[in-house]
Chain A
Amino acid sequence: MTDITKQPENSTKKQGYWAGVARDGKKMGFWFILPTFLLLLFIVIFPLFMQLYLSVTWWTPLEGIPWYRAWEVFSWGDNYVFQFTDERVWGALWRTIIIMVIAVPAQFFLGMSLAYLFMDNFPGRKIFYSLMLTPMMIVPAVVGLMFYLLFQGTGPVNAHLGLPVTFSWLTDVNRAMISVIIADVWQWTPLMFLILLAGMLGVPSDQLMAAKLLGGSNWQNFLKIILPRMKAVIAIALVLRAVECFKIFDLVYIMTKGGPGVQTETISVFLYKMTFGEFEWSYVAALGLTILFVLSIIAAKGLAYIAKKDG
């Protein structure tokens, strides 16, 4: 009898992925994904090269030259050089990072505390669980509008503070930043909570009980058993939120429009304004590529860290 699970020996001659595809009759699958693949090629790869092309010119849509003739206003790497000396870029970057380094850790600690709380089976847990997740489900633009209304000079926040002075939350630089951070923390803590809770529930409960029986206090067991076991999940949650937070746009644009002046502009708001306000498309293209490059490196490092921890 022949063993049908055994491959004929000559099949090992051809190696590699594509040989495998041909041998195992996966060709049909390839044809299935081809249309999607082509579409993706058109909406991702093509614009990327178009952006790369425009970024080395002075081209703007206002001068009447079609984009493919942008080489006529070729600028070498001037856009790339200029972005490093542009104070508006540095300012926007600085503010984006400030929002990120305050909002993401805040979301992390709140999410972690809530996750720990939800490990217990307290009465009403399910209802609170659903309520907890609602902010995440709301469209960011609506959240922006909600907090815009809340932080109005004559809005509920000032009314509830009940102080003799009325704060102008959204037109003062520092207070506007605080307002945006509060809105972002409100909206995205639930996501952090959800990811961290999933990770925490993955810690075997008998190991936790064993640690307790050995005399470890809740805090010691949290630090020595729960946290180390959640490393990968924590890394994923932090990378995810950091990258998302770096792109923060809706909240800022709706609450302050980057104002007063340019004082609460983040990278995304700045890019938007340069694109549709000042039509500096080649400059935006160069800046966009730089950000993509930097973020890719950070994310890759983060993911490599996760892979190392898991392996």
Chain B
Amino acid sequence: MSSIQINNVTKRFGDFTAVEDLSLDIKEGEFVALLGPSGCGKTTTMNMIAGIEDISEGSILFDGQDLSSTRIQDRNIGFVFQNYAIFTHLSVYKNLSYGLEVKKIDKSDIDTRVRAMADRMSITHRLEQPASSLSVNEMQKLAIGRSAIVEPRIFLLDEPLSNLDAGFRAYMRAELKVLQHEFGQTMIYVTHDQIEAMSLADKIAIIDQGKLMQYGSPLDIYNSPDNRFVANFIGSPRMNLIDGKLREEKSQLKLMVHGGAEIPLKGQVKSNFTSDGSVQSGSFGIRPQDIYFGDKRSSNDIEMKGIVDVLERVGPKRIAHLQVSETNFIAFDDQDQLKLGEKVSFFLPSEKSMAFDEVSGRRSGVI
């Protein structure tokens, strides 16, 4: 078990910068997810931690110790590959025992540990069979078991669930959480799936184009995104992000949306927009579930009028697309109260609305 400090790490492939000035502090026993769209540099970061890729600049410390000159073999890092990298020419038993055999551990000791691990991963009935005969789900278990058996100092998982069918993925997600608790391991988990990251991780690092966008607990990231990218990336359905120009009319500050709609700014969100002083244009963000219909609940809430354009059913609720001029707001219709084509009033609670600077994308008004 180790803590990991990633200090200002940069990775370049020729002219291309895959990871730029990335710093992360991962505590012992923490489960951290690296989350980002494809090609954002999260797998490269993982490979650098494992030692598969060299670091162009910066350093990665394990318990304060730099391992960059240590051979991969001696780093003792557990790594589960996206496609599992099972040794298909060997039996399941030999796959599990590989990491122990190469360390020349006593045969009977190996046998006990292999059987215990096979039992833990419930693949005992498969032990003597060739690994190539396993199903994808079993391969997944074998890959985790094979890495876990050598008791690595940290555990790295590269999109481990992306090849699984939906049912098993949900099961494995729960299982991984249990395993992490059992092993008490520091785990780093690469994924592009926000649900996996949200449900598994103690902390999430959101990466875009090689840069760290935000690092914090899932709830933190969800409730107070640092910037427009994170706000847009986290949450399903996505946050409403409305771009426009700020204009003062009759002592009322308004966001003039490019499509023609106007959002009168009030209360908290107004002070957020104006906190930086010279903001000319920005994005107004509000999560779909925060928009409500019916009676106004607080004097600072912003009232909008729009036409119900589309209604999508998701389980008991419906997702409503509300057209204001040419701008689309997405909201939840909880009680099937909306009708298609109807003109409705809806409210944007000002204390739950967010303000983003258009140029930098940074959220304004939060320290």
A215 within 8 A of B: yes
Q: Which of B52, B88, B90, B147 is in CB contact (< 8 Å) with A214?
A: B147
A214 touches B98 (CB 8 A): yes
B124 within 8 A of A: no
Q: Which of B50, B86, B87 is in CB contact (< 8 Å) with A213?
A: B50
Chain A interface, DSSP helix/strand/loop, else mixed = helix
User: How many cross-chain pairs have Cβ atoms below 8 Å apart between A and B?
Assistant: 59
B98 touches A211 (CB 8 A): yes
A213 touches B89 (CB 8 A): no
Looking at the complex, which of A23-31, A60-68, A170-178, A202-210 is the stretch in contact with chain B? A202-210
Residues of A contacting B81 with CB < 8 Å? 206, 209-210
B367 within 8 A of A: no
B78 touches A213 (CB 8 A): yes
Chain B interface, DSSP helix/strand/loop, else mixed = loop
| Residue from the set A210, A212, A224, A228 with the largest chain B CB neighbour count within 10 Å | A210
- Given contact pairs A206-B85, A210-B81, A210-B85, A215 touches B50 in the complex (Cβ within 8 A): no
B166 within 8 A of A: no
B152 to chain A, nearest CB (A): 8
B249 within 8 A of A: no
A212 touches B72 (CB 8 A): yes
Q: Determine the distance from Cα of A213 to Cα of B88 in the docked complex, in whole angstroms.
A: 17
B73 within 8 A of A: yes
Residues of A contacting B89 with CB < 8 Å? 225, 228-229
Q: Determine the distance from Cα of A210 to Cα of B87 in the docked complex, in whole angstroms.
A: 9
A211 touches B87 (CB 8 A): yes
Q: Which of A204, A215, A220 is in CB contact (< 8 Å) with B85?
A: A204
- Given contact pairs A215-B73, A217-B73, A229-B89, A210 touches B79 in the complex (Cβ within 8 A): yes
B146 within 8 A of A: yes
A225 touches B87 (CB 8 A): yes
A209 touches B150 (CB 8 A): no
Counting contact residues on chain A (CB < 8 A from B), the size range is 10 to 19
A206 touches B83 (CB 8 A): yes
Q: Determine the distance from Cα of A210 to Cα of B95 in the docked complex, in whole angstroms.
A: 11
B77 touches A216 (CB 8 A): no
Q: Determine the distance from Cα of A70 to Cα of B342 in the docked complex, in whole angstroms.
A: 108
A291 to chain B, nearest CB (A): 36
Counting contact residues on chain B (CB < 8 A from A), the size range is 20 to 34
- Given contact pairs A206-B85, A209-B52, A216 touches B98 in the complex (Cβ within 8 A): yes
B295 within 8 A of A: no
B130 to chain A, nearest CB (A): 12
- Given contact pairs A224-B98, A228-B89, A215 touches B52 in the complex (Cβ within 8 A): no
Q: Determine the distance from Cα of A211 to Cα of B72 in the docked complex, in whole angstroms.
A: 10
A308 to chain B, nearest CB (A): 14
B68 to chain A, nearest CB (A): 16
- Per-residue CB contact flags for chain B residues 11-52 toward chain A (1 = under 8 Å, else 0) read 000000000000000000000000000000000000000101
B101 to chain A, nearest CB (A): 8
Residues of B contacting A210 with CB < 8 Å? 79, 81, 85, 87, 146
B102 within 8 A of A: yes
Q: Determine the distance from Cα of A216 to Cα of B71 in the docked complex, in whole angstroms.
A: 11
Q: Determine the distance from Cα of A300 to Cα of B85 in the docked complex, in whole angstroms.
A: 34
B232 within 8 A of A: no
Within 8 A of B (CB), among A83-123: none
B76 within 8 A of A: yes
Nearest 7 A/B pairs, CB to CB: A214-B99, A210-B85, A206-B85, A216-B102, A213-B79, A207-B85, A212-B72
A206-B85, A214-B99, A215-B76 known; 15 new pairs, CB 8 Å cut-off, are A209-B52, A209-B72, A210-B79, A211-B87, A211-B102, A213-B50, A213-B147, A214-B98, A214-B102, A214-B150, A215-B150, A217-B73, A224-B90, A224-B98, A228-B90
Binding site for B on A (CB under 8 A): 204, 206-207, 209-217, 220, 224-225, 228-229
